[in-house]
Structure 1
Amino acid sequence: MFSIKNLLKTGAVLIFIGFLALAGIYMSMRANLPSVESLKDLQWQTPMQIFSADGKLISQFGEKKRIPLTLEEMPQQLINAILATEDDRFYLHFGVDPIGMARAIIGQLTGQNKGGASTITMQVARNFFLSREQTYVRKIREIFISFHIESLLSKDEILTLYMNKISLGHRSFGFGAAAQVYYGKDVKELTLAQIAVLAGLPKAPSTMNPISRPDRALQRRAVVLQRMYISDYITAEEMSAANKEPITAIKHGAEIELSAPYIAEMAHQEMVDRFGKEAAYTGGYKVFTTVTSKLQYAAQQAVVNNIFSYDQRHGYRGPINTLRPLDDQAKTNSTSDSSEITMAPITNEEIIAALAPLSSYHSIEPAVVTAIFERAAKVTLQDGSEVNINWQGLAWARAYINDDKQATPPTVASDILALGDIVMVAPTEDSYRLSQLPEVSSALISLATDNGAIKAAVGGFSFQQSQFNRVTQAKRQVGSNIKPFIYSAALDSGYTLASIVNDAPINQWDRSSGVVWRPKNSPPVYSGEIRFRLALAQSKNVIAVRLLREVGLDKVIPYLARFGFNPVDLPRNESLALGSASLTPLEVATGFATFANGGFLITPYLIERIEDSFGKVLFQANPAIACDRCDETTETLTKANDVSSDSIDSIELVTSEHEPLPPIPIIKAPRVISAQNAFLMTEALNSAIWGADWNIKPFWQGTGFRARALKRKDIAGKTGTTNQAKDAWFSGYSRRLVTTSWIGFDNPSRNLGQTSYNSNLGKAQTTGKEFGAKSAQPVWINFMKEALADLPVEPFEQPEALMSVRIDKLSGKLTTKTDRSSQFEYFELGTAPTEYISQDISSEILDGGDPDISTEDGIFE
């Protein structure tokens, strides 16, 4: 009895000494212990995701993959699996499990491994604040931090932190991300077998994950299922069924639903500018852009198809490389009905080695020519499959000589290909066709005219090939795309659509250079006296110069700056009238939007809203709106992109859960030209597409007549080509959408050239000199065909203070005639002609140039 009493006393003393020692250790470490207050306001290191306006994932930025979830969003079976495997007494202990700790200590003393006794709370402490070093000091710090965490947070909050923070291999953190990485699923879609695999990962994510070590993942899964069964979370039948399932995990990336890398990079750069690189990459931001998947896809298809069309009509530049020198090729073996060139077989090893370093772009991929027939060829692709190219896929490939010249069309396949050639090919509906990586570049930008929302943007043929965004970064000479702004300045200075201007050659001595400046029309055809409207529709160069002279550079440059153009980019000489200014497609489209929206300068924007990882709206765009009567009603709109200019005064913000936020006031865009000026310019630019006179010689039609294919009268636009056709443009708009397309070479020494007729291709081909209407306008037409399909026909609204009177086509004077010599024209009040024609001169009307040559213009020396 005495010995037991002494033993109890000794034990009590030792326990007391132990508590004192523990308190002493705590006091000595307290200053160096991290604060866990930050856990209450945790910022997850979650990748930034970029979405389209209709919620399709465009891209993801950031190395760590994490999808934060609340405990309610996690399936109960997963929670049960974690508790059974990692800490079955989690809801019973105070951060440290005495039973588990005792078991671990006994195991260490007896040499048996009984586990590390780490509870879920202790793992949270380690994952957030400590390293994984195996030392007693770290373990003691881990225990102290666990106590503090338990005093601050509830058990559910701690479990939520654990399930979102834990590293689970392949750069996935938390079970939401792991479900996506390993199975490409939402965590709620996982089967019991898949849940058990993930629940087994915390022990050793690098060596037990089902991708790197499926055998060990299988063994670990069995352990998890066994523990779930022992804890009474699953039945024996469920355990048996799950154990029989195979390991099905494969690595999944982010599920990109809309590949739009130029858009993604624009949004990414704006986010970095807003938040800094580290915060942008780890803050878990969900960035919703203004682009819609339908329009973005249509824009990308239009640009890529047009680039291929241009590139292939200029000829085939030959193979990337060859596996067989010509001398090594066998002679032609002839049969009665076909001729086939053969050679020593190319081995699979040779093909794999040759194609491995080569990339695919869009639909084109590398291949090796392994057989050539009279009018067909066989090629092997990177995956080892063999495909045929028929004559329809080869006939285009006459040899490229230079940008202005192509060789004679091929007659047999051997005119084009040789055995062992490494080429690019593209699939067709029923076969493959020969292709090549284009050298020409292009861009397209489309904006909502009322608020500047970017609806689609394509910065080049392939972001993989070149990350240079020609929409925002390429300042190129704009050619005749500048003329509408010169003409607008002339209207502002007293001209009307019926004003008569002299379309005659200009010869001007330049003292500074010692030469005569002779700007020319393109083509060099002159119509004499011609009306203002027709001059713009036919893009008369010399008239643009005359108007610039009349208005004066000192007025024109500040006037053009109203449209958002930087005066530094506007040359202070008369070449400005011919488009020598260098602007980006985005700047050009912004300028044209002013005509479309009735005279307002909008500011382009891409990010509609930013949410945190839990869907809370952190930022909502509030763009300036093009409208005069924003304050007349109290109607609210749920999306700034859908605004009209007639009746708005506020925008009601909506979170991802559709919880309304307080409305924000509408900001009015600045008016930079009058509504009357904008309407009259739209009328003239409509004539560039729809204007024509086929009844009286010598006839004429506008340079943008090809856009009539859209069968929409509610559009307007302007072509543009620069000197030597180095750049080609088309800018056009409807009431709600403005789009600019550009094509040219990144190398400024190259021009777009010209093409001759290819007898292999029939009548449906583009030939002759390249210019805006041939090279850039097809992109615009193909894109707008899709874009306008969802927009009803909406004529441009005639503003107040305008009148329409009948004028004589030749003189621009008033007339009482109602025959083909007259038409109605719009005028601002007080500017209409007051004089009538004095005699019948309708038979002598001269309205423009020959329709066969009045196509396009440029800057000419």
Structure 2
Amino acid sequence: MYQEQSKTSRRAPSHSRKGFLSTLLLIVVTLVVVSLLGLGGYVAFLMAKLPKVDRLTDYKPPIVSQVFGDDGTLVGEFYLERRLVVPVNKMPRKLIQAFVAAEDASFYSHKGIDYFGIVRAAFKNIISMRKKEGASTITQQVTKTMLLTPEKKLSRKIKEAILAKRMEEKLTKDEILYLYLNQIYLGAGSYGVEAAAETYFGKRVEQLNLAEMAILAGLPKAPNAYSPIKHLERAKERQAYVLERMVQEGFVTQAEADHARKTALTILPGRRVMNDRVAYFLEQMRIYLEEKYGEDQLYKGGLKIYTTMNANMQGAAYDAVRAGLKAVDKRQGFRGAAKYLKQEEVEPFCDKVEEGIDSAALKAGETYAGVVTAVDPAKGIATVRVGDRYGALDRKGMGWAGKLALVNSYGKPEKSAKSLGLGAVIDLQVITPDQNNQGAIFALDQMPEVQGALVSIDPRTGGVKAMIGGYDFRKSQFNRAVQAKRNAGSAFKPIIYAAALEKGFTAATVIDDSPVEYPAGLGKTWSPKNYDNNYRGPVTMREALTNSINVVSVKILEKIGVDHAVAFAKRLGFTSKIEPNLSLALGAASVSPLELTSAYTAFANKGIYQQPYYISKVTDSSGQVLEEHYQPLPPEPPAPVAADTDGTTPVTIKVPEKPALPSAGSSPVLRATQATSADVAYLITNLMESVVQSGTGHRAAAIKRPVAGKTGTTNEMKDAWFVGYVPQLVTGVWVGFDNQARSLGAGGSGGQAAAPIWAEYMMKAVAGLPIQGFEAPENVSVVRVNPKSGKLARGAEGSSESFVKGTEPSTYEGD
């Protein structure tokens, strides 16, 4: 009995262990089943909410809208993502192979997921104790970027795997590559291989060589870290890796790879949505296009926008305005450093500057923010730093600022506008770039506070060829060419004189330049003054305009009537409110540079006013024309009829009215009107030629071809103008401060501040145009007159003067 009990008691533990193991196994199996059921349910739940792969078959990504100049040159772009879609059959095969070799070598053999790649990547990551290699296939990358969010969650990875499998069932390999290579972000704001090829190399994708293809294929891993613009050496290291992978996959030979590694790379600076030179012009169009077509169509729809802009003229305008404003600003003196840094602040400041420099080398002529890091007062030389580069600033480079004291200590000097100390943050223009680590040579520069605007128009069509609305679009988007309303000063006088020519005045009409008073209400009087406070007595209208005599201009306006002058201005396209009073003769009207410049186009175009415009045509991504503008020329008007005159008594020259031409449906016709007769247009042009030849606009003669124009300077030199033209191009320039109470100071007249900008621009703008004179209409005669009295001169005496037939003086000098 005892023995039986002992045997039983010894077997009991074995029975208990078996029961425990059975229970444990049951629990584990249950947990596994529950987990599998849960996972299955979770996967089913995820699958029910997955996006449809079918939508990728109708791939319509955001596409760049491109802007073209008048010669077809690409001058700008509008986009949210800079993408230019290109078919796979237009991509070089080796470019595709480069991306496959670098990103997914088994792309053509797997079905969406590379299981071996996952194991390989996991093993490498375990060995290195950190995530060193990913295992996403190209198909998975497409699903992540086009169908899912980039969040790093298990649910997203499961969705990605499921969708990748589905995508491989729905799409061919080439269709997947089409999506991938057009969608992928490759740095510098570029999406897709076509945009990246243009951004980095200035080429179409089919023009790339193997070296360039390998650079692009190396970018997906880390576009910014391997950017050839910012980190060329890193980019070339990555290029070598891509080429090595291509050799291993049999896509290229070792010789081809070696040759590609040795091929020199020409890298272009990064692109901007709107580069500085065309920013104001493009912004003017953007406002119109966004309002008409909406944001989606403009920024994603791939519009083709053909403009009236001439890229060369626009570039010349940008350079001329900036140089001219700097010259005006520097005449007012050096304002001192922008700020002073402590020694420990220099390095962080320079690092930030370096981030904003988009090229490997500083560019000659460009201006950068720099810091004074050392000085040698004895030699008059400062060592300056721009980003991570150093250079010298010598006395010659600081000459315009006067003799600046160099202070060998940190902290703001007492007389900061007359000194430069360590830590001074200043603008530096590159004279000689850094070459062979010898250091750059800089000149002291200064961001102008004065502003300016330039508008240039083809008078025959109204097409705006160039527009600058300020010194720097990035600092101020206010387009002064269109939005600023400033007193026109004497630049408005040609409007008054042309209106007088319609009333029978002639270039030889004599007006007395003598003091005059007009009632101003409340017992007060107004006495217009000449700019030089001198009075010349009787002068001809030519002399009065040539020398911009104020009193004579007021007397002319009084005789022709203010209402006539205002109506005439409206015919020339002015839309701003023009007060009907005698101060209009002195340019009291506040108008935009665009208004004033476009008014002058009628004088250059035989009296025909063409409404200014910017856009010639807009097409959608399929090439369908959405709008198209053209400028028909109205027929020549009949010759004006004039009454007899002795040259001093005004008579009326009748001007034929020409209504605006009607719209032409989907292709609207811009307004072309006969604002005045061809005879009057020629005569006022002839008068303004004298302004350039011997008057206040003499600086415009620098372009060495027939020019007509007029300066304008308002009270206390708050506004400076010059509007002038040749037969093919009319250009207006305005200079002033945004604060309308501030004076331009010495050298701030229209002839000194605005005319040099006009001349600098026009010399380049008309360089390719034939030299033409202003052709006189058949109804204009030329006779010799006495330039003082305006009467006929006998024999070879006097000077030649132009008249509408029938308005010539009838008496001789001395009679």
Same fold (TM over 0.5): yes
The 1:829–1:39 alpha-carbon spacing in structure 2 relative to 1, beyond 3 Å, is: farther
- The match for 2:675 among 672, 675, 679 is 672
Task: Name the CA distance, whole Å, in 1 between partners of 2:105 and 2:72.
Answer: 40
Determine helix, strand or coil for the equivalent of 2:543.
Answer: helix
Unaligned runs of 5+ residues in structure 1 are 1-21, 325-346, 400-412, 631-662, 691-700, 755-768, 841-861
Between Structure 1 and Structure 2, how many residues are aligned?
A: 703
Q: Is the 8 A contact 2:457 2:730 kept in 1?
A: yes
Q: Could you tell me how far 1:395 is from its partner in structure 2?
A: 5.7
Determine helix, strand or coil for the equivalent of 1:827.
Answer: strand
Task: Name the CA distance, whole Å, in 2 between partners of 1:771 and 1:562.
Answer: 29
Partner of residue 584, structure 2: 576
The 1:258–1:291 alpha-carbon spacing in structure 2 relative to 1, beyond 3 Å, is: farther
Task: Name the CA distance, whole Å, in 2 between partners of 1:433 and 1:222.
Answer: 43
One-letter amino acid of the counterpart of residue 786, structure 2:
D
Q: Could you tell me how far 1:735 is from its partner in structure 2?
A: 0.4
- The match for 1:622 among 620, 629, 635 is 629
Q: Could you tell me how far 1:118 is from its partner in structure 2?
A: 9.2
The superposition leaves residues 539-586 of structure 1 with CA deviations (integer Å, 9 ceiling, x where unpaired) of 1212221222222222222221111111x5212222111111111111
Task: Name the CA distance, whole Å, in 2 between partners of 1:711 and 1:69.
Answer: 49
One-letter amino acid of the counterpart of residue 604, structure 1:
P
Task: Name the CA distance, whole Å, in 2 between partners of 1:394 and 1:213.
Answer: 37
Determine helix, strand or coil for the equivalent of 1:489.
Answer: helix
* Residue 745 of structure 2 is aligned to residue 737 of structure 1: no
Task: Name the CA distance, whole Å, in 2 between partners of 1:219 and 1:321.
Answer: 41
Partner of residue 542, structure 1: 551
Q: How does 1:63-78 map to 2 (within 5 A)?
A: 63-78=80-95
Partner of residue 780, structure 2: 802
One-letter amino acid of the counterpart of residue 780, structure 2:
L
Q: Could you tell me how far 1:352 is from its partner in structure 2?
A: 3.2
Q: Could you tell me how far 1:418 is from its partner in structure 2?
A: 4.4
Q: Is the 8 A contact 2:792 2:813 kept in 1?
A: no
Partner of residue 689, structure 2: 686
Determine helix, strand or coil for the equivalent of 2:455.
Answer: strand
Task: Name the CA distance, whole Å, in 1 between partners of 2:370 and 2:140.
Answer: 54
- TM-score, with structure 1 as normaliser: 0.70
Task: Name the CA distance, whole Å, in 2 between partners of 1:721 and 1:687.
Answer: 18
Determine helix, strand or coil for the equivalent of 1:134.
Answer: helix
Q: How does 1:396-415 map to 2 (within 5 A)?
A: 396-397=401-402
Partner of residue 811, structure 2: 836
Q: Could you tell me how far 1:135 is from its partner in structure 2?
A: 6.6
Partner of residue 309, structure 2: 291
One-letter amino acid of the counterpart of residue 689, structure 2:
N
The 1:234–1:720 alpha-carbon spacing in structure 2 relative to 1, beyond 3 Å, is: closer
- The match for 1:440 among 447, 450, 463 is 450
The superposition leaves residues 754-807 of structure 1 with CA deviations (integer Å, 9 ceiling, x where unpaired) of 2xxxxxxxxxxxxxx631112211111222222232222212222233223333
Task: Name the CA distance, whole Å, in 1 between partners of 2:403 and 2:103.
Answer: 69
Partner of residue 522, structure 1: 531
Task: Name the CA distance, whole Å, in 2 between partners of 1:111 and 1:795.
Answer: 82
Determine helix, strand or coil for the equivalent of 1:790.
Answer: coil
Partner of residue 417, structure 1: 419
Unaligned runs of 5+ residues in structure 2 are 1-39, 126-132, 358-364, 405-414, 433-439, 638-665
Determine helix, strand or coil for the equivalent of 1:747.
Answer: coil
* Residue 192 of structure 2 is aligned to residue 174 of structure 1: yes
The superposition leaves residues 449-477 of structure 1 with CA deviations (integer Å, 9 ceiling, x where unpaired) of 11122222222222233332211121111
Q: Is the 8 A contact 2:218 2:235 kept in 1?
A: no
Q: Is the 8 A contact 2:783 2:800 kept in 1?
A: yes
Q: Is the 8 A contact 1:538 1:688 kept in 2?
A: yes
Q: Is the 8 A contact 1:729 1:772 kept in 2?
A: yes
Q: Could you tell me how far 1:302 is from its partner in structure 2?
A: 2.1
One-letter amino acid of the counterpart of residue 705, structure 1:
H
Partner of residue 593, structure 2: 585
Determine helix, strand or coil for the equivalent of 2:367.
Answer: coil
Task: Name the CA distance, whole Å, in 1 between partners of 2:201 and 2:77.
Answer: 18
- TM-score, with structure 2 as normaliser: 0.74
The 1:237–1:350 alpha-carbon spacing in structure 2 relative to 1, beyond 3 Å, is: same
* Residue 518 of structure 2 is aligned to residue 508 of structure 1: yes
Q: Could you tell me how far 1:737 is from its partner in structure 2?
A: 0.5
Q: How does 1:50-65 map to 2 (within 5 A)?
A: 50-54=67-71, 58-65=75-82
Q: Is the 8 A contact 2:53 2:163 kept in 1?
A: no
Range that drifts further, 600-609 or 30-39:
30-39
Percent identity among equivalent residues? 33
- The match for 2:710 among 718, 727, 738 is 718
Q: Is the 8 A contact 1:369 1:418 kept in 2?
A: no
The 1:437–1:166 alpha-carbon spacing in structure 2 relative to 1, beyond 3 Å, is: closer
The superposition leaves residues 625-676 of structure 1 with CA deviations (integer Å, 9 ceiling, x where unpaired) of 445369xxxxxxxxxxxxxxxxxxxxxxxxxxxxxxxx98987722111111
The superposition leaves residues 595-651 of structure 1 with CA deviations (integer Å, 9 ceiling, x where unpaired) of 00111122222334446668x474675232445369xxxxxxxxxxxxxxxxxxxxx
The superposition leaves residues 711-755 of structure 1 with CA deviations (integer Å, 9 ceiling, x where unpaired) of 32x21001111111110111100101011111111112211222x
The 1:521–1:248 alpha-carbon spacing in structure 2 relative to 1, beyond 3 Å, is: closer
Q: Is the 8 A contact 1:70 1:160 kept in 2?
A: yes
Determine helix, strand or coil for the equivalent of 2:609.
Answer: coil
* Residue 536 of structure 2 is aligned to residue 558 of structure 1: no
Q: How does 1:334-413 map to 2 (within 5 A)?
A: 349=344, 351-353=346-348, 362-363=366-367, 365-368=369-372, 370-373=374-377, 376-382=380-386, 383-391=388-396, 393-394=398-399, 396-397=401-402
Task: Name the CA distance, whole Å, in 1 between partners of 2:351 and 2:429.
Answer: 17
Task: Name the CA distance, whole Å, in 2 between partners of 1:491 and 1:222.
Answer: 78
One-letter amino acid of the counterpart of residue 737, structure 2:
F
Determine helix, strand or coil for the equivalent of 1:832.
Answer: coil
The superposition leaves residues 293-331 of structure 1 with CA deviations (integer Å, 9 ceiling, x where unpaired) of 33223222222222222222222333334469xxxxxxx
The 1:315–1:137 alpha-carbon spacing in structure 2 relative to 1, beyond 3 Å, is: closer
Range that drifts further, 674-683 or 488-497:
488-497
One-letter amino acid of the counterpart of residue 76, structure 1:
R
Determine helix, strand or coil for the equivalent of 2:756.
Answer: helix
Q: Is the 8 A contact 2:604 2:726 kept in 1?
A: yes
The 1:145–1:235 alpha-carbon spacing in structure 2 relative to 1, beyond 3 Å, is: closer
Q: Could you tell me how far 1:439 is from its partner in structure 2?
A: 1.8
Partner of residue 540, structure 2: 531
Q: Is the 8 A contact 2:210 2:260 kept in 1?
A: no
One-letter amino acid of the counterpart of residue 504, structure 2:
G
Q: Is the 8 A contact 2:302 2:621 kept in 1?
A: yes
Q: How does 1:276-355 map to 2 (within 5 A)?
A: 276-322=294-340, 349=344, 351-353=346-348
The 1:74–1:511 alpha-carbon spacing in structure 2 relative to 1, beyond 3 Å, is: same
